[in-house]
Amino acid sequence: MSILKGKVVLITGGTGSFGKKFSKTLLDEFAPEKLIIYSRDELKQYEMQEQFSGYANVRFFVGDVRDSERLLRAFHGVDYVVHAAALKQVPAMEYNPSEAIKTNIMGAMNIIEAAIDRKVKGVIALSTDKACNPINLYGATKLCSDKLFVAANSYASISGTKFAVVRYGNVVGSRGSVVPFFLKKRVEGLLPITHPEMTRFWITLDQGVRFVVKNFDRMKGGEIFVPKIPSMNIMDLAKALAPECKTKIVGIRPGEKLHEVMISADDARYTKELEDCYIIRPAFPWWDNDNHAGGRAVPESFHYSSDSNNEWLKLDQLREMINNI
């Protein structure tokens, strides 16, 4: 049983890869009273309406997270919000930093204000590994967003709204990910590799969706939830996708890391480990350290990085994940 059952749920960026998977899962398994898809692309909404025509409790709201008045209208009567809207293409955001700031930071502020004003019960914002020790503009804006959502709990007491963040790594098969890129290049017989030692955390859309749903039930407000997920090496991925192809080392792109980090050593003192995830707790006086009492503190030197992970995907596991996209 989920807290979302029988409730009105809104998802921003609902026409994206995560949004469509979240919507299908929520409608099929968790019986919301109503699901509202909020996004700025009317064509994608039209296409999604066609796909979801069999559901009577889905509503579509054209709007941008930059538009605070539109958000206030959309949030009327909403119980829970998933904030998945973002500008996230690293090279494009390096060239257009002001646009990333308007959507990823100012948009986050608008979500927070609308949620408090409309007395939304709970909000979970999607983050990224790139928000931890960011080296690119996208990561920097998502770090700001994460901190905005955590701090929002400080002044949301009047409305009772709770805010939390879910942070995870690469999603298998999502738009802009390496899998569709490699599949496209496979027909040419040559896969471009940025660096042979590059590693990434790996999660499926289904795993990401279910992790978000689960955290609505256990959030107290202020947490950054980080799932325990496996790592993979980029060369192993190339072998799994196209063993017949040659590879060419092209070098790391601007703003790109060799390895992903989702929890830094500086965050270790605030981090608890649960069976399925880590929780970075807020460093605010209102936080009750007895929250999530079943967790244990991690060592002070702890950091969660894709190159030092305890779990690694083997070739057959990678192939199975890719075949199930």
Q: Return the active site residues.
A: 130
Residue 309 phi, psi dihedral angles, 5° rounding: -70, 155
- 215, 122 contact by CB (below 8 A): no
For residue 36, what are the β-bridge partners? 10, 59
Question: Across 1-145, where does the E strand assignment appear?
Answer: 8-12, 34-39, 58-62, 80-83, 122-126
Angle at 158 between CA 153 and CA 161, to 5 degrees: 45
Amino acid code (one letter) for 28? D
Q: Is the dihedral of CA 66, 71, 112, 274 positive or negative?
A: negative
Residue type at 177? S
Concatenated DSSP letters of 48-79: HHHHTTT-TTEEEEE--TT-HHHHHHHTTT--
Q: Rounded distance, CA 170 to CA 45, Å?
A: 25
Closest CA to 208 of 268, 126, 285: 126
Q: Give CA torsion, residues 105, 202, 211, 280, to 10 deg.
A: -60
